[in-house]
Amino acid sequence: MKEPYKLAILIIIMSFSHLTTQAQFITFNHDGIDRQYLYYEPVTLNANMPLVFAMHGYTGDANSMRNNTQMNQIADQYGFAICYPRGTLDSQGNRFWNVGYAFHQTETVEDVDFLIELAQYLQVTHNLNSDYTFATGFSNGGEMCYLLACQAYNTFKAVAPVAGMIMQDILNQCDQSQPIPLFEIHGSQDSVTPLSGDPTNNDGWGSYPSIATTINYFAVKNGCTSNTTQTLPDIDTTDGSFVMSEKYLGGTNNNEVWYYEVVGGGHEWPGDSGNMDIDAGEEAWLFFQHHINNTLSLPNFENLEEAIHIFPNPTKNIITIQNPGEIRLKEINIYNTLGVNLNLKESHGQMDLTNLNQGIYLLSIKTLKGTIIKKVVKN
């Protein structure tokens, strides 16, 4: 009787071991497609209820991203919820994020919209803070972070790509987007996405600028006014690499842009392989936490009504919404006196009321410090 008993115990142990490495995917229908993701929430959430997305690389998967980065353990330590979304399969059967690779020109999946809708769904169903949703990712997942920075900045408030790059086509369309904090970790010997970039598409991914050009672009975009550099401690002297830190500070709304160059590092996620001086997942979270702290430290205007100005008012057509640089506007809507949203869009601090009838309207302005209502007269 002892041998069957031992066999049963062994089967149970093996089954449990399998469960610890293979998590259950959750289905989320988007645009008629059943998409999938993994979600993890620690027992104790940070008081600010943050949410972090962690995206796998090309040919990777959400489960391997979870296992390799060990970000569930980091979430336990710091108290944030984490989502590992799953890319779709391309024509070659590889999972990917649609950032516009040269060989993906026929792919039509809308990954930006999928991630926005999934983030909003998780925020509501798990009571998470919509002001503190962030994204990190490796390689193709890191490139998706850049796309989110340019096209989903109202949902994702900071990004931390690892071994990623920004496609030139995406960069060309990024100028009008709202700046958000960005943190890139990149190996100096990365042979997949080299520091020098690939402006002429020699490698077949598509054209993309150098990492130095990319970091400078986002530092300027965020209005950073100073920078610091330092060499981080070489904790593991056997890994053949060390980390140089560049931080661009003093940007709009206290935004910052960070860059860690892993000198001697390759196309890797530090802490999992290659460099062992840092853990990329933990560094990404510390960057997000720093952004939360910077946001909370913004001046707390006691009277938003007086701080934000609307002019001309009354108006015949265009109104301008003027706010101090320290107050970040999140959402602006205009309603009639019956409470119907008229769905007019604000652009660069202005709203066109030309097509509205004469009368009184209510302008709702949502900021990180609260929401105010302004009366607007159209004549």
Which superfamily does 22-296 belong to?
Alpha/Beta hydrolase fold, catalytic domain (3.40.50.1820)
Lowest mean pLDDT among 7-16, 114-123, 259-268: 7-16
pLDDT > 70? residue 86: yes
Residue 189 class from Cβ within 10 Å (0-12 exposed, 13-18 middle, 19+ buried)? Answer: middle
Give just the sign of the alpha carbon dihedral 109, 110, 116, 120: negative
Eight-class DSSP state of 118 = H
- The pLDDT confidence band at residue 19, using thresholds 50, 70 and 90, is very low
CATH placement of domain 304-378: 2.60.40.760
Confidence of residue 176 (pLDDT cuts 50, 70, 90): confident
Per domain, the residue ranges of the chain are 22-296, 304-378
Whether 157 has a pLDDT exceeding 90, the answer reads yes
pLDDT band at 55 (very low <50, low <70, confident <90, very high): very high
The predicted structure's pLDDT at residue 207 = 98
Q: 104-108, 229-233, 257-261, 349-353: lowest mean pLDDT where?
A: 349-353
For the residues 309-317, what does the mean pLDDT come to? 88
Alpha helices in the chain (DSSP H): 2-21, 62-69, 71-78, 111-125, 140-151, 168-172, 211-221, 280-296, 304-307
* Global confidence as pTM: 0.76
Per-residue pLDDT at 8 exceeds 80: no
Q: Average pLDDT for residues 105-132, to the nearest whole number?
A: 96
> In which band, very low, low, confident or very high, does the pLDDT at 12 lie, cut at 50, 70 and 90?
very low
For the chain, give the percent of residues with pLDDT over 90. Answer: 74
pLDDT digits (tens, 9 = 90+) for 200-243: 999 999 999 999 999 999 999 999 999 999 999 999 999 999 99
pLDDT at 345: 87
| Arithmetic mean of pLDDT, 334-362 | 87
Express as a percent the part of the chain with pLDDT over 70: 90
Q: Are strands 182-187 and 226-231 parallel, antiparallel or unpaired?
A: unpaired
Q: Which amino acid is at 325?
A: G
Other C-beta atoms closer than 10 Å to the C-beta of 274 total 22
Query: Contact at 8 Å (CB) between 81 and 72?
Result: no
Least trusted range by pLDDT, from 135-139, 152-156, 166-170, 349-353? 349-353
pLDDT value, residue 367: 75
List phi, psi (to 5°) of 244: -100, 130
Topology agreement, domain 22-296 and domain 304-378: no
Average pLDDT over residues 264-287: 98
| Cβ pair 150, 125 in contact under 8 A | no
| 285-311 pLDDT tens trace | 999 999 999 888 766 555 666 678 888
The answer to whether the peptide bond before residue 299 is cis (omega within 30 degrees of 0) is no
Q: Which of 9-13, 33-37, 308-312 has the lowest mean pLDDT?
A: 9-13
Of 338, 339, 364, nearest in space to 351 by CA: 364
Q: What is the mean pLDDT of residues 51-79?
A: 98
Which of 50-64, 233-247, 292-306, 323-337 has the least mean pLDDT?
Answer: 292-306
